[in-house]
Amino acid sequence: MKNTIVLITVLLVSISCKQRELPVVFNLVDETSEIAKQQNHEIERMKFKMIQSKYLDMNSVFKPFENDLAYFSENNYQNLLPYIIEKDIPSIQESVENGILSYEKIVLFYLYRIRKFESSNDLALHSIISLNPNIVAEARTKDKNKPKDIKYTLYGLPILLKDNINTIGMPTTAGAFALKENSTTDDAFIVKKLKDNGALILGKANLSEWAYYFCDGCPLGYSAVGGQTLNPYGRKLFETGGSSSGSGVSVAANYAVAAVGTETSGSILSPSSKNSVVGLKPTIGLLSRTGIVPISSTLDTPGPMTKSVIDNAIFLAAMTGVDNEDVTTLNVDATVDYLKDLKSATIKGRRLGVIKDLMSDSIYKKNIDLLQKAGAVIVEFEPLQLQLDGFLTLLNIDMKYDLPKYLSAYADKNLKIKFIEDIIQINLKDSLQRAPYGQQLFEGIVQDSTTIAELEVIKSNLNATGKQFFNEPIDSLNLDAVLSINNYHAGFAAVAKYPCLTVPMGYEKTGEPISLTFIAKPFQEQKLLQLGYAFEQLTKFRKQPENYK
């Protein structure tokens, strides 16, 4: 009799452990009053016309995970939370090595977390466009084939990609209705590299449509496919930054271990700083652009967006390599160890250029004082007053030719669109849904008659101007780096093709994040990461968004 009771008890426990959870439903809501209230915002481009996408059904996005999540409970989620949330890559991998975590559990945790917040009308951030339907099975395979030394690798860890980066098994939309069916593509070069290094592609992050070179003065983080991305530190209060809005928001809200962004001018630096995450805009040519929806083959680059500098270094190394289809990468040294001497890095003795005008910002000044106390040599200077003449022309003409090349060589072969004009016409068929803020920049591209010969002169002049802006203080004052705020000097860094690393440096009185941006000469990413790591360890300013703990 006693044995029977024990057997019944074991069976009951087993059944209760596998009790099926009720499905979670994503509901469309009437946004009329919410949108009306938003019109009182003091920032013009925060006066949204819509928030939820009319083209994205999150119920369909989560359909492949229905069964797996049915047996993953809130209790499972809470038990795993201390080992994943805000943890860096080495810490997560250590928990895997110790048997506390598995890659399957990590994936289910993130899927559950995304669904938990995105299904709430009061908390949804609209930072996810699609999810990899095979990721749970892929995670199980990673668990079975786990190598010995994983601590400083991306092996088995779920990563989000900005949705302008080609990925097998998921559409690449750039947030645009015209690319909604861009479903069958090869992996972009950097995605192949990530997979070669063991990373799991969790899904695609929302973005400012066409990487924010589409509409003029429209909200940051808006796309027709993904809807309006919102900032977790101040939902509908603070801008998300752009154009890698979904990547920055998703990392800040702990929706993935890390995310890839892309930048032409400020599109990694801006959302990273606005969401209190670490963002690296590499030297043009360090990372391949093959298989990425372009704005400018001159200025575009992908880059890592992470919660910590050490994660950024690990992530950068996993994407680096020579790509024969992107000639800018042909001289890349893929053997650089970005982790070397990182933990022993120090601020002491580093010569850091401080822009005098920025010292009026109290948070910037406070951090400069901290750096000086830590032994940095602070050198104040007044930058040259230079203009970036022809910058928009460069973007116009590059995109006029680069986007058709992508559509021809790397997009789904069933897509009918070939040129910018085709996209404009598609949007005009239902402009209220497909282009509610207009498509002025696309129209400007079509109207721009600048010749290729004229463009080459503009490119050369802009590059010389950008280099002059930074080289004058760096060379004359023997600086290790120039210190800026957020994406304030992203334009000059863009045309100079110089790398930038932005690291959280505090919060405004309103709670809005603000970051310190380190800028150096080409291919000095290792130095920037060392400076960023030393600064991060000195200050440890990043904190979780209050409502997303």
Residues involved in catalysis: 162, 243, 267
Pairing of strands 200-205, 158-162: parallel
- Decide: 65 and 111 in contact? Cβ < 8 Å: yes
CA separation for the pair 246, 229 (Å, rounded): 6
CA angle 284, 180, 45 (to 5 degrees): 70
CA quadruple 134, 135, 138, 143: dihedral sign: negative
CA separation for the pair 166, 191 (Å, rounded): 8
CA separation for the pair 42, 311 (Å, rounded): 36
CA separation for the pair 161, 158 (Å, rounded): 10
Mapped to the 3 state alphabet, what secondary structure does 26-58 carry?
Answer: CCCCCCHHHHHHHCCCCCHHHCCCCCCCCCCCH
DSSP 375-393: T-EEEEE-------TTHHH
- Helix, strand and coil percent figures for the chain, each rounded to 5: 45, 15, 45
CA separation for the pair 234, 546 (Å, rounded): 9
If 0-12 CB within 10 Å is exposed, 13-18 middle and 19+ buried, where does residue 110 land? buried
Q: State the CB neighbour count (10 A cutoff) for residue 312.
A: 32
- Decide: 255 and 203 in contact? Cβ < 8 Å: no
- Decide: 191 and 167 in contact? Cβ < 8 Å: yes
CA separation for the pair 185, 192 (Å, rounded): 12
CA separation for the pair 293, 283 (Å, rounded): 19
CA separation for the pair 545, 251 (Å, rounded): 11
Could you say which DSSP state residue 22 is in?
P
Q: 91: cis peptide before it, omega within 30°?
A: no
CA separation for the pair 460, 382 (Å, rounded): 24
Q: Specify the amino acid at residue 348.
A: K
Query: Rounded to 5 degrees, what are φ and ψ at 360?
Result: -75, -15
**Host H or E run for residue 172:** none
- Decide: 438 and 387 in contact? Cβ < 8 Å: no
Lookup result for tokens 């499972």? 76
Lookup result for tokens 């400076």? 531
